[in-house]
Amino acid sequence: MFLQSCFPILGFVFPMVDSGKNKKNWKPYKKRNEVMTAQQAAKKILSEAGEPMRSREIARIALSKGDVTSASKDPVFSIATTIEKNIREDRYNTPKLVFIHSSDGRKIGLPSMINISQDASKPLGQTTTQRKKKRISLDLPDELYNQIQLAKQAKLADDDEGTISLLLKQGLSFYAPEIKKRLMEQLESF
């Protein structure tokens, strides 16, 4: 108390400086919003929205709510890029987020949102045209087959075909930059 009475500014800097005699007036620091990781904030926002969103949209909301912070010149771009990079590289992607491709572009979503219609933006009553399908048959190692069965049990899709298609889409999405790079190298060699 002596320090606070001599130097009133110390009451703001060190509000808990007290000899212990004045306990009834003592107040703990007000706890401010805890800052989350970009992925945690995105999961929270996506859960509240209930639908996939663009990464910049997620970043804007997270920054405005104070869930995340950034010292960059363009914080929205920085947070959006972090979210996308974490998904693409599947590092630091906890909680798990996924890319969802729809008629109006690529969005970020929760794994449970993958079953949301790719054309949810269309008015009710309009149906999408059925895509042509090709049948593929292959032998899988037991370990890979067991992993597919686990994904099926997690009900990521309605049936076996949907689960395998989903896993292939996610894998192709992850490897898209590498596929593009190798194709460009092949084109350059011509």
- Cis preceding linkage at 28, omega within 30: no
pLDDT band at 61 (very low <50, low <70, confident <90, very high): very high
Digit-coded pLDDT (tens) for 117-176: 444 444 333 334 445 667 777 888 888 888 888 888 887 777 777 788 888 888 887 888
Give the residue extent of every domain in the chain.
1-31, 34-114, 137-190
For domain 34-114, give the CATH number: 1.10.10
Contact 28, 15 (CB under 8 A): no
Q: Kindly report the number of other CB atoms within 10 A of residue 45's CB atom.
A: 19
Task: Say which residue the tokens 């790719």 belong to.
Answer: 118
Residue 28, C-beta contacts closer than 8 angstroms, at least 6 positions apart: 16
Residues above pLDDT 70, as percent of the chain: 72
User: Tokens for 8?
Assistant: 């009133």
Give, as one character, the DSSP assignment of residue 53: B
